[in-house]
Amino acid sequence: MTVRNLFLLPGDGIGPEAMGEVRKIIAYMNEAKNASFVTDEGLVGGSAYDAHGVAISEEDMQKALAADAVLFGAVGGPKWDDVPYEVRPEAGLLRLRKDLKLFANLRPAICYPALAAASSLKPELVDGLDILIIRELTGGVYFGEPKEIIDLGNGQKRGIDTQVYDTYEIERIAGVAFELARTRNNRVCSMEKRNVMKSGVLWNQVVTATHKEKYADVQLEHMLADAGGMQLVRQPKQFDVIVTDNLFGDMLSDVAAMLTGSLGMLPSASLGAPDAKTGKRKALYEPVHGSAPDIAGKGIANPIAMIASFAMCLRYSFGLVSEADALEKAIANVLDSGIRTGDIMSSGSRQVGTAEMGDAILAEF
Amino acid sequence: MTVRNLFLLPGDGIGPEAMGEVRKIIAYMNEAKNASFVTDEGLVGGSAYDAHGVAISEEDMQKALAADAVLFGAVGGPKWDDVPYEVRPEAGLLRLRKDLKLFANLRPAICYPALAAASSLKPELVDGLDILIIRELTGGVYFGEPKEIIDLGNGQKRGIDTQVYDTYEIERIAGVAFELARTRNNRVCSMEKRNVMKSGVLWNQVVTATHKEKYADVQLEHMLADAGGMQLVRQPKQFDVIVTDNLFGDMLSDVAAMLTGSLGMLPSASLGAPDAKTGKRKALYEPVHGSAPDIAGKGIANPIAMIASFAMCLRYSFGLVSEADALEKAIANVLDSGIRTGDIMSSGSRQVGTAEMGDAILAEF
Ligand SMILES: CC(C)[C@H](C(=O)O)[C@@H](O)C(=O)O
Ligand SMILES: CC(C)[C@H](C(=O)O)[C@@H](O)C(=O)O
């Protein structure tokens, strides 16, 4: 069996604690299941800035590029609020996405039945919710040029960002959405603001054409992104797969995540195109939550999103589908048994810390 | 008493029906209260396109510019889905905002107690909700240039939109937010994506500086716009005034509107700068809801958002504060009495049509 190279970037805040629980699972899989994972580890975000003065070092970038998959924790915190823009913690994540060409961000918004009551929405609206948001991740306003602040004199400055999308970028992310919809409920809703944005007009046209040419069997709907945000709040279960651009995806996936009442539970996968020769995709897996500096280092953070991100890694990078299923099932079982970290605590449940939650999941795995 | 000039643009779909109910209130105020409203009426959106081939005629633009206030219904519908981009229904609204220089969009998200149960959120999270979103309306990605689709050859196109904000644009919208916060709970939350957008960096700096210079008595908080969307869903009552840019304001105000469970109830005001001589602001008032083509012409649309928009007009354009209060109170009373249009119907209430709802509010006024 070939070796599986994982590059771990725990990052800042609760990132390292959450990653620790994944390390336990990796060790177990190597020992008990001969999984042949080989791990290396680097720095990203504030911790990289403290060590190297940049948000990720060249050496770690090379390791990320060489790995079969990157596991990413979280970055940022008040300590680095005033570092220069180019080396702010987020720059490390954005560079990884861009240089690894991870154009497809998969963000499942799943409501675990055991947690439906934790949502701010009425339980019947979210119980059993299972949406997959496909966010374009290497284009749009995140990376378009010009992106600058110009001094106009007279005390006036001008801030400029540019949203750019080319046909091929829209085509390939639409393709991912349609392919994944076929493995689910076969429905895609594409969201943009074609009534205001020219990139939205092109987005709409290319998604429509891609659908017609190759995926006519999938049900396709278009929605304006503002209406989409509303509909997510009103009736989230109407959606199966949502495909949208980088900035709308950022906003809409966060709203969707919050609907589930389980922000500390949600994983994500960021995938590149399949390599022409090997068919392998570059990939990075990260929890949707941030670095939560307020609770960092206390051993109370919820490691589930990070563990669920590793389950996505098993599924998408290594084709270990039954292991991924088993790990996800272990998470659901532990929740059903009433074990909770503080962020999802409810009366009648048993509150545990990060390590105990990780151990409980490992025991069920 | 001087004459008060209102220019009515009912638009498409349910716009004309809803505007009809406002006309009744205007007539009543002229008759019973000597209000001296003089109304003229024009076409906008699809109906303007059908009549003149543009989304608003030059003649109507001149009338809008000359009026003390514009009342706007709604635009759009499937009939005009394929008209050229430059003359699509929304172009009429965008031109009005731009040419009247209506940079400040006020979007209250209020949850009427009688309707708290209609929200998809748990009632205790929204009952008594009262947020004011201040959206910048004449800048950002809506109007920045370049804004185009370029043919790159090889079957590839490139869609480009440009987000641009100058210091003075941020300063003046921040000023509106701080001023209005002082009349409320004295708290402002500014939202941007400074971790990704240079315009967000400038936004953050200018709001901070404006606060420090002139409004240090107001409590100011900054939030990333994606986190802001989450927090709106999680705990909406934490907010008093939110100030944000054109595109984030579009998304976030729609999410906030949906939280109230009363989309058909929410008004908005779009204001220009005070005239140097007269102190008067150009202004346009419009419901947050769209043209709802599916129910247009049936006499069942909810006119409350349009009537509440007229209440904002009384307050902000004419300083008729007690009349505005009375009209808003009339709406709340009618809801308390259990009268409902179909969109907000619940068991035990009495369902009425557009005209009957308008009459009931007028009777309470
Ligand atoms: C940390 C930040 C740069 C990032 C983004 O805006 O993409 C985050 O919000 C996310 O959604 O992954
Ligand atoms: C109709 C459309 C152009 C408009 C916008 O995007 O501003 C609408 O969504 C709004 O919020 O007023």
B121 touches chain A (CB under 8 A): yes
Residue B281 and residue B254 share a domain:
no
Taking contacts as CB-CB distances below 8 angstroms, the residues of chain B near A234 are: 120, 258
What is the CB neighbour count within 10 angstroms for residue A363? 10
Domain at B171, CATH number: 3.40.718.10
Annotated binding residues of B for Mg(2+), written as ranges, equal 226, 250, 254
* CA B350 to chain CA mean position, Å: 28
Same domain, A214 and A313: no
**pLDDT at residue B262 greater than cutoff 80:** no
Among B193, B224, B259, where does a domain finish? B259
Question: What is the structure's pLDDT at B114?
Answer: 87
What is the per-residue pLDDT for B363?
A: 98
3-state secondary structure A251-307: HHHHHHHHHCCCHHHCEEEEEEEECCCCCCEEEEEEECCCCCHHHCCCCCCCCHHHH
Report pLDDT digits (tens) over B65-75.
Answer: 999 999 999 99
DSSP secondary structure of A83-127: S-GGGSHHHHHHHHHHHTT--EEEEEEE--GGGGGGSSB-HHHHT
Domain of residue B83, residue span? 1-105+273-365
Average pLDDT, chain B: 96
pTM of the complete model: 0.97
User: pLDDT tens, A100-121?
Assistant: 999 999 999 999 888 888 899 9
Q: What is the pLDDT of residues A1-43, one digit of tens each?
A: 689 999 999 999 999 999 999 999 999 999 999 999 999 999 9
Residue B61 lies in a domain: yes
Closest to B236 measured CA to CA, from B106, B112, B113, B109: B109
**Distance of CA B345 from the midpoint of ligand 2 (Å):** 26
Q: Which of A259, A293, A322 is the last residue of a domain?
A: A259
Residues touching ligand 2 (Cβ under 6 Å) are A 195-196, 226; B 90, 93-94, 250
- pLDDT average, residue stretch A64-69: 98
**pLDDT tens string B220-261:** 999 999 999 999 999 999 999 999 999 999 999 999 999 998
Mean pLDDT of the A247-276 span? 94
Report the pLDDT value the prediction gives residue A264, as an integer from 0 to 100.
82
The pLDDT of residue A1 is 60
Q: Given an 8 Å threshold on Cβ–Cβ distance, is A120 in contact with B233?
A: yes
Residues of B in contact with A224 (CB under 8 A): none
Tell me how many domains chain B contains.
2
**Are B135 and B241 part of one and the same domain?**
yes
pLDDT by residue (tens digit) across B106-140? 999 999 888 888 899 999 999 999 999 999 999 99
Give the three-class secondary structure for A42.
coil
> Are B147 and A197 inside 8 Å of each other by CB?
yes
The per-type count for chain A, helices as H runs and strands as E runs, is 12, 14
Whether residue A125 is contained in a domain is answered as no
B353-365 pLDDT, tens digit per residue, is 999 999 999 999 9
Q: What is the pLDDT of residue A239?
A: 98
Q: Are residues B361 and B291 in the same domain?
A: yes
**Residue A146: inside a domain, yes or no?**
yes
Please state, for a pLDDT cut of 90, what percent of chain B lies above it: 95
DSSP B139: S
Quick one: B282 and B237 in the same domain? Answer: no
- Mean pLDDT confidence for A145-150: 98
- A200 shares a domain with A160: yes
Whether residue A95 is contained in a domain is answered as: yes
Residues ≥6 apart with Cβ < 8 Å to B60: B7, B9, B42, B43, B44, B48
Residue B121 lies in a domain: no
Q: In chain A, which among 28-47 make CB contacts under 8 A with chain B?
A: none
B124 belongs to a structural domain: no
User: How far away, in angstroms, is B250 Cα from ligand 2 center?
Assistant: 7
- Judge whether B116 lies within some domain: no
Asked whether residue B95 falls in the same domain as residue B136, the answer is no
- Please report where in the chains the tokens 């179909």 appear, as a residue: B342
| pLDDT of res. B1 | 61
Reported as a single tens digit per residue, the pLDDT across A47-61 is 999 999 999 999 999
**Residues B16-35: pLDDT tens digits?**
999 999 999 999 999 999 99
Is B146 found in the same domain as B254?
yes
Contact A284, A102 (CB under 8 A): yes
Domain boundary among the residues A244, A259, A274 is at A259
Query: Do A250 and A138 sit in the same domain of this protein?
Result: yes
Question: Do B304 and B335 lie in a common domain?
Answer: yes
Residue A123, in any domain of the structure: no
* A276 and A242 in a common domain: no
One domain, residues B291 and B203: no
Which of B75, B157, B203 is best to mutate for the A interface (most A CBs within 10 A)?
B157
pLDDT at residue B318, as a whole number:
96
Distance A111 CA to ligand 1 centre (A): 21
> Percent of chain A scored above 90 by pLDDT?
95
